[in-house]
Structure 1
């Protein structure tokens, strides 16, 4: 059972002011490769899984931005942690689905 939801908006500062989209695409590839459940939204991506694992993914994403040449990275992260009852994307948005 997943115990956390972590949403992240990653904003690397690009070396020459180019678009951040290729960087963001690479960050999402890191999430995809991790195997955790995730939902890409227009302004952030939400992951569902083990709290510690999700934080490691956030770190890997930031590390990759630097490796790709970004001199710095701003990551806005939201965390919902519920080790007792678990955390679920579906449970949170079920009433909004038609």
Structure 2
């Protein structure tokens, strides 16, 4: 979710209540990052309305997520991530965007024990 992610007052957000993570992630655990670039990003009254609609879909998913300035990272089972990515893209159009470009990166593994977002960034957080 492009620089427009800085809208809605969230340069960083995380699912408020997170279940404890198991020692190893299950097979099919997926990490995805999505950046949506709707045109326009919002309306005269709400500058980032279309981006906010996309973030609302992520928040409602119940999956672990982090909103960043240039995209949002979501993690969970692949069978929930893939439909969510489509719903995020569609939400911007349903909110009134004329067009939307979504840039998506996805990482997943066939075996259990793949990394989580926390595993990948823990040493860089203070």
Give your verdict on TM over 0.5: yes
- If asked which structure has higher relative contact order (CA below 8 Å, sep 6+), I would say 1
Unaligned ranges ≥5, structure 1:
none
**Aligned residues of 2:40 and 2:97 also touching (Cα < 8 A):** yes
Query: Considering only aligned residues, what root-mean-square deviation do their CA atoms show, in Å?
Result: 2.2
Q: 1:20–1:10: structure 2 CA closer, same or farther, 3 Å change rule?
A: farther
Q: Normalising by structure 1, what TM-score? A: 0.85
**Aligned residues of 1:40 and 1:46 also touching (Cα < 8 A):** yes
Q: 1:15–1:91: structure 2 CA closer, same or farther, 3 Å change rule?
A: closer
1:7 to 16, 33, 36: 33
- 2:116 matched to 1:78? no
Q: What displacement does 1:58 show? A: 1.1
The farther-off stretch of 57-66 and 12-21 is: 12-21
Higher helix share: 1
The farther-off stretch of 11-20 and 51-60 is: 11-20
Alignment of 1:1-80 (within 5 A): 1=25, 3-14=29-40, 21-80=48-107
